Amino acid sequence: MAASAKNHVVVWMNYLQKSVEMGDYSVIGVIVAVSVVLLTFLVFGLLRQRQNKRRGVLILGNCDAGKTLLYTQLIYKKHNQTFSSISPNSGNYTVAESGKTLRLVDLPGHERIRQQMLDGHKDLARGVIFVIDSSSVQKEIKDIAEYLYTVLSDNRISNMSPPLLVACNKQDMSFTKGAKVIQALLEKEMNTLRITKSAALQDTSASNNNTYLGRRDRDFTFNDLKPMKIDFVECSCQEKADINAIQDWLAKIA
């Protein structure tokens, strides 16, 4: 059986060799086409493998947005644990339905160390959760947009294009803004930032962030950052926590 299969292969190889020598273009065409298909599968397979190796989910956001509380809710299902806000916290999160594990990393949001924190962890990012305090978003919009802009325009992040979830937190408080309003506020602020940042880029050549965000021919929208998928959800992490939307998103990206 094995011998006859080997014979078949030898016969085929001889046929192909002869056809190529004789300049039979249809056979050459088929060989080229098959090689291209195989190579494409190989490249996609390798990319997929690399993407699957990244298991980290970075929890980013400004100070007091609720990153650490979200982290403890997700990992320990508790709201009263005290954790460091100066160094990163990290722990495994297992998706109930699939049993897949993600590595959640809660990164401090202090302005001085943001970039350093991002640089130290971005290579592992399978996804990013950007937490916002919906009760103070209007007052803090400049700082929030600035941070989000830094993340989105980071060269490595924009190359990897991990899915990003904007978690509009503290929905239990009064006078909070909803996800739709926050998205609109951010888009407006990012549009302004985009103008000032790209003007500044022409003077200096910042190494980490030189991606132009969105389309030049119209106002900034998160939708224009494709292939990066950006979603907005509402949540709250205090006592009667409501983090279902975040857990659903984690299950999707795992």
Ligand X SMILES: Nc1nc2c(ncn2[C@@H]2O[C@H](COP(=O)(O)OP(=O)(O)O)[C@@H](O)[C@H]2O)c(=O)[nH]1
Interface residues toward ligand X, by CB under 6 A: 61, 63-69, 85, 109, 169-170, 172-173, 236-238
Q: Which is nearer to Mg ion, 72 or 176 (CB)?
A: 72
Does position 169 interact with Mg ion (CB under 5 A)? The reply is: no
Q: DSSP 3-state assignment of 132?
A: strand
Separation between Cα atoms, residue 67 and residue 106, nearest integer Å: 6
Work out how close the CB of 165 gets to ligand X at its nearest, in angstroms, rounded to a whole number: 15
Does position 64 interact with Mg ion (CB under 5 A)? The reply is: no
**What is the number of the residue whose Cβ is closest to Mg ion?**
68
Side-by-side strand order, sheet with 125-133: 89-94, 101-106, 56-61, 125-133, 164-169, 230-234
Separation between Cα atoms, residue 83 and residue 57, nearest integer Å: 18
Between 84 and 103, how does the x/- string for binding to Mg ion read (CB under 5 A)? -x------------------
Does position 150 interact with Mg ion (CB under 5 A)? The reply is: no
Backbone angles phi, psi at 102, to 5 degrees: -120, 155
Partner interacting with residue 126 (select from Mg ion, ligand X, none; CB below 5-8 Å by kind): none
Separation between Cα atoms, residue 247 and residue 241, nearest integer Å: 12
Q: Which is nearer to ligand X, 114 or 194 (CB)?
A: 114
Q: DSSP 3-state assignment of 58?
A: strand
Contact 68, 104 (CB under 8 A): no
Q: Which is nearer to Mg ion, 153 or 236 (CB)?
A: 236
Contact 36, 44 (CB under 8 A): no
Work out how close the CB of 108 gets to Mg ion at its nearest, in angstroms, rounded to a whole number: 6
Q: Which is nearer to ligand X, 65 or 166 (CB)?
A: 65
Q: Which is nearer to ligand X, 88 or 103 (CB)?
A: 88
Contact 169, 237 (CB under 8 A): yes
User: Residues with Cβ < 8 Å from 114, sequence gap 6 or more?
Assistant: 107, 147, 150
Candidate ranges 12-20, 51-59, 64-72, 238-246; the one touching Mg ion (CB under 5 A): 64-72
Does position 62 interact with Mg ion (CB under 5 A)? The reply is: no
Query: What is the greatest pairwise CA distance in the chain?
Result: 80
Work out how close the CB of 254 gets to Mg ion at its nearest, in angstroms, rounded to a whole number: 23
Work out how close the CB of 241 gets to ligand X at its nearest, in angstroms, rounded to a whole number: 7
Determine the distance from the C-alpha atom of residue 212 to the mean position of all C-alpha atoms in its chain, rounded to a whole number: 17
Token pair for residue 157? 């992040």
Q: Which is nearer to Mg ion, 52 or 84 (CB)?
A: 84
Residue among 62, 68, 136, 153 that touches Mg ion (CB under 5 A): 68
Work out how close the CB of 82 gets to ligand X at its nearest, in angstroms, rounded to a whole number: 9
Q: Give all strands (DSSP E) within 97-225, no chain letters.
A: 101-106, 125-133, 164-169
**Site residues (vs Mg ion, CB under 5 A):** 67-68, 85
